[in-house]
Amino acid sequence: MELKDFGKKNIFMPDATRGAVRFLTTQQLKDTGTEAIVTNTLHLMIAPGAEKMKELGGIKKLMNWDGIVLTDSGGFQVFSLIHSKKWEGKIDENGATFKSPREGNIYTLTPETSIDIQMCIGSDILVTLDDCRKSDLDESEARESVDRTVAWARRCKDHFEKVYGGTKETGKLLSCVVQGAKYPELRKECAKALVEIGFDGYNFGGFVVDEDGELVLDEMRAVIENTPVDKFKYAMGVGKPDDIRRASKIGYRVFDTVLVTRNARHGTLYSSDIEDEVLRIGNSEYSSDQRPIDSNCDCYTCKNHSRAYVHHMLKAGEATGMTLATIHNLAYYQKLVQGLS
């Protein structure tokens, strides 16, 4: 897939936080049909560091990946961690200063440095820094988040264009994040303000499900209805198969979630042979099951190994089990998005 075609068809991007999908080699990742991945600006900034990433030729050279790479801005991780008090730090109009619990170093993330770090990482699609918060904000706090997100998006684009020449010079895409918490009108206002600045893609930010685990479709529609039809729409964090189907129906084409690979490592697999699509491979009923995980799947795992084998590997704590489960779940999701209208 060429970068110019990104978002013109349905795409699922697995989480490759530090330059790898856990338990998979780059070749195994390619073999699942994956064409694009998400890497994490925050974690790569901490280790190996932005300058080291640049020295090594960027993430694509480092991991020998010829597909598309999208880097998040670091906003979701930093601001959710700081707002929740899990990390020590402070946020102001300029950005965030925080202490890494990993080695105790102090870092500053601003709209400008977020762009600089993503350029060092060498991704194809950059994301503007946003002020991400929980959904249960009162309206005044949500408006503050929107105002700051728009202001930072403008600074990100200005920096991207003035320092690097923008999309025209770099060949990279710059996308933004639409905030507004649980308020559709604020989502609408945020989307319109970002459209005035102008971006290559519009991402639904924050939390995509409510306290009952249901998609916040009204807020999601507000973004679709107030952004250009010719720009890609990315439903950040939408994960369950039915949620992807619902989001696709209202206009989203790009998806990602950590659930696909995380669930695989914990024995929750996906199968069209099961009514609700969820197969819990750790259950004793699969210990002697000679069938593949999914009779309609042609991934490496399903072509070569039985449910019983994957069950045994995971029960034994073998990395092989996590690899086989991850291969299957990713292949299942790639087939899922390819089948969406």
Question: Which member of 116, 131, 243, 256 is catalytic?
Answer: 256
Buried b (16+ CB within 10 A) or exposed e, 235-245: bbbbbbbebbe
Cis upstream peptide for 184 (omega within 30°): no
Q: How many helices (H) and strands (E) does the chain have?
A: 15, 13
Instruction: Using DSSP, state whether 105 is helix, strand or coil.
Output: coil
Instruction: Name the DSSP class of 4.
Output: G
Closest CA to 29 of 71, 60, 52: 60
CB within 8 Å of 328: residues ≥ 6 apart: 264, 269, 270, 293, 294, 297, 299, 301, 302, 310
Instruction: Report DSSP state, residue 209.
Output: B
Mention every residue, 6+ apart, whose C-beta is less than 8 A from residue 221.
184, 250
Say which of 72, 116, 124, 131 is annotated catalytic: 72
Catalytic: 256? yes
CA distances for 308 relative to 125, 150, 297, 299, 303, angstroms: 41, 52, 17, 17, 14
The answer to whether the CB of 58 falls within 8 A of the CB of 122 is yes
Of 151, 214, 153, 220, give the one whose Cα is nearest residue 180: 220
CA angle 271, 275, 279 (to 5 degrees): 40
Question: Strand locations in the chain, DSSP E?
Answer: 11-13, 36-39, 68-71, 89-92, 95-99, 106-109, 125-127, 173-178, 201-204, 232-235, 254-256, 268-270, 278-280
Residues with a known catalytic role: 72, 256
